[in-house]
Amino acid sequence: MDFALNDEQREFRDHCRRFAREVIRPVARKHDAEESTPWEVIREARAWGLNGLDHIQRTGQDRDGQLGVIAAEEMHWGCAGIALAVNGSGLAAAGIAASGSPEQIARWVPQCFGSDEEIKLGAYAVTEAQAGSDVKSLRTTAKLDGDEWVLDGTKVFITNGGIADVHVVVATVDSALGHRGQASFVIGKGTPGLEQGKKETKIGIRASHTAEVVLENCRIPAENLLGGMDKLNRKLERARSGQKSGASNALATFEITRPMVGASALGIAQAAYEWTLEYLDGQTIESRPALKEQRIQQVLADVATEIDSARLLVQRASWMGRNGVPMSGGQGSMSKLKAGDVTMWATTTLMDLVGPYAQTADCPLEKWFRDAKIYQLFEGTAQVQRLVISRMQAQEYRERLEWAGELAAGGAPATPVSAAA
Ligand SMILES: Cc1cc2nc3c(=O)[nH]c(=O)nc-3n(C[C@H](O)[C@H](O)[C@H](O)COP(=O)(O)OP(=O)(O)OC[C@H]3O[C@@H](n4cnc5c(N)ncnc54)[C@H](O)[C@@H]3O)c2cc1C
């Protein structure tokens, strides 16, 4: 076991931090105030190797699984809204990679990023007004009409919704089957019947575009069904005949992506912590340096400890995901839950420490406090994360009991996943 970052990881962290300081921070306030998409930063991130296919390939090659979470934390240290605008297309690419055929992946994933000359964006659209946490209740329908799929429905709160070049949309093919009757479709730019609806005005991550996506008689070629017709038919047949669901695969995939969201949240917490240290270093309380006040030391120690413990959960989960160690105890969800809660708590706590100035728009804590909230909400709310962890822990417990029972009975059963991990 080795907790130290290697030379490559340290250099990459410094590179990301320099990008965040020199390119993101100078325009963070402007894009926050204007709620504008930071195209110039996305372009520059491409030049620095921090956006697009090269970036995905590089972070994917790290055997420890740390480069991705390092990049997420450092970019969000710069500005969470801009960082999401830079790398939000990764969600659509992940959706295509998870469900698409090799040909579909080769065709559509590059289109989520475009080229150095022509930047493109992707959007991944699942959530609806009545179905976010409760994903089985999606109402957007996809009906086969000759050699076209026809999509109808409204997606809400979609990152890059309406401005993306590629929309990956999850829709219901057979509503009686719940989530097992759903499929993913790719919709290219300019397809009639896809319109941007209301653009959301948000308290935080304002540089990231969030909008409704309205689908009305949206016709796409049959080949835009991710995975293809045969695979969908097999899945529907299995569901109709009551065979075992593949839902646990989806759960396992989410476990792998959640540490990235946790790392993103921690970038905000770390930024708020570092700024507060620097600010207090210049303050005196009754002619004593503020950092020598034990009352203040108590709070700062708690903030530092909480951030570090959340970071360790993120690093562990990311390492497990990269090395194929099953997160059967919900380790991915734990990392996202803890990092989101720590970030909201840390920004609030640091504001209390700084006092009324922290409430003003002149103080950077005000923005970090606003940016923090979303990490308890999207990509699985904190409450839903707790349910996932609790269910996975219970399942792991049952497996261990079963294994211990078989062992006591003199069998030689295979080691359960949880014990192996
Ligand atoms: C800025 C932003 C960007 C987003 N980007 C995307 C995107 O790109 N693509 C996409 O598809 N979606 C996106 N979302 C949607 C987001 O993922 C959902 O809003 C989120 O998953 C919550 O789902 P919901 O809106 O249905 O809320 P609900 O599920 O209605 O939740 C409401 C409240 O009820 C709680 N709750 C729900 N079920 C339970 C339960 N069983 N037990 C205990 N508590 C429960 C929740 O925790 C929450 O507190 C985005 C949202 C925002 C705000």
pLDDT tens sequence across 177-197: 988 999 999 999 999 999 999
With the most atoms of ligand 1 within 8 angstroms of its CB, the residue from 89, 157, 260 to mutate is 157
Mean pLDDT value of segment 264-291: 95
Confidence band, pLDDT 50/70/90 cuts, at residue 325: very high
Here the contacts of 5-11 (C-beta below 8 Å, separation 24 or greater) are 5/66, 5/70, 6/64, 8/62, 9/62, 9/64, 9/66, 9/67, 9/70
Q: What percent of the chain has pLDDT over 90?
A: 82
Q: Which residues line ligand 1 (CB under 6 A)?
A: 91, 124-127, 132-134, 157-159, 202, 205, 210, 374, 377-379, 381, 383-384, 387
Residue 204's CB: how many other CB atoms inside 10 A?
20
Give 357-391 pLDDT, tens digit per residue: 999 999 999 999 999 999 999 999 999 999 999 99
> Which ligand 1 atom minimizes the distance to the CA of 380?
21
> Residue 306: is its pLDDT beyond 70?
yes
Where is average pLDDT lowest: 112-116, 167-171, 200-204?
Answer: 112-116
With the most atoms of ligand 1 within 8 angstroms of its CB, the residue from 37, 133, 379 to mutate is 133
Measured in Å, residue 376 CA sits from the centre of ligand 1 at 9
| Residue among 403, 277, 269 at smallest CA distance from 328 | 403
Give 220-266 pLDDT, tens digit per residue: 999 999 999 999 999 999 999 987 765 555 566 678 889 999 999 99
Confidence band, pLDDT 50/70/90 cuts, at residue 158: very high
Measured in Å, residue 84 CA sits from the centre of ligand 1 at 17
With the most atoms of ligand 1 within 8 angstroms of its CB, the residue from 124, 140, 377, 390 to mutate is 377
Residue nearest to atom 6 of ligand 1 (CA): 158
Confidence band, pLDDT 50/70/90 cuts, at residue 418: low
Helix (H) or strand (E) holding 14: helix 7-19
pLDDT of 35 reads: 97
Measured in Å, residue 305 CA sits from the centre of ligand 1 at 29
pLDDT of 421 reads: 45
Where is average pLDDT lowest: 154-168, 342-356, 403-417?
Answer: 403-417
pLDDT of 420 reads: 44
> Residue 410: is its pLDDT beyond 90?
no
Measured in Å, residue 212 CA sits from the centre of ligand 1 at 14
> Residue 19: is its pLDDT beyond 80?
yes
Distance, CA of 211 to CA of 195 (rounded, Å) = 10
Q: Are 98 and 357 in contact (CB under 8 A)?
A: no
pLDDT of 245 reads: 65
**Rounded to the nearest 5°, which phi and psi values hold at 215?**
-115, 115
> Which ligand 1 atom minimizes the distance to the CA of 383?
47
> Which ligand 1 atom minimizes the distance to the CA of 131?
26
Measured in Å, residue 377 CA sits from the centre of ligand 1 at 6
Confidence band, pLDDT 50/70/90 cuts, at residue 415: low
pTM for the whole structure: 0.94
Bridge partners (DSSP) of residue 220 are 149
> Is 402 among the residues known to form the active site?
no
> Residue 30: is its pLDDT beyond 80?
yes
Distance, CA of 372 to CA of 264 (rounded, Å) = 10
Residue nearest to atom 51 of ligand 1 (CA): 157
With the most atoms of ligand 1 within 8 angstroms of its CB, the residue from 82, 112, 127 to mutate is 127
Measured in Å, residue 111 CA sits from the centre of ligand 1 at 27
Q: Which one of the listed residues 44, 128, 306, 379 is annotated catalytic? A: 379
Q: Are 5 and 13 in contact (CB under 8 A)?
A: yes
> Which ligand 1 atom minimizes the distance to the CA of 128?
26
> Which ligand 1 atom minimizes the distance to the CA of 91?
8
Give 335-344 pLDDT, tens digit per residue: 999 999 999 9
Q: Give the domains, in start order, of the chain with CATH numbers.
A: 7-87 (1.10.540.10), 121-240 (2.40.110.10), 247-420 (1.20.140.10)
Q: For residue 171, how far is the Cα from the chain centroid?
A: 21
Mean pLDDT value of segment 327-346: 96
Confidence band, pLDDT 50/70/90 cuts, at residue 417: low
Distance, CA of 289 to CA of 297 (rounded, Å) = 11
Measured in Å, residue 34 CA sits from the centre of ligand 1 at 25
Distance, CA of 284 to CA of 190 (rounded, Å) = 59
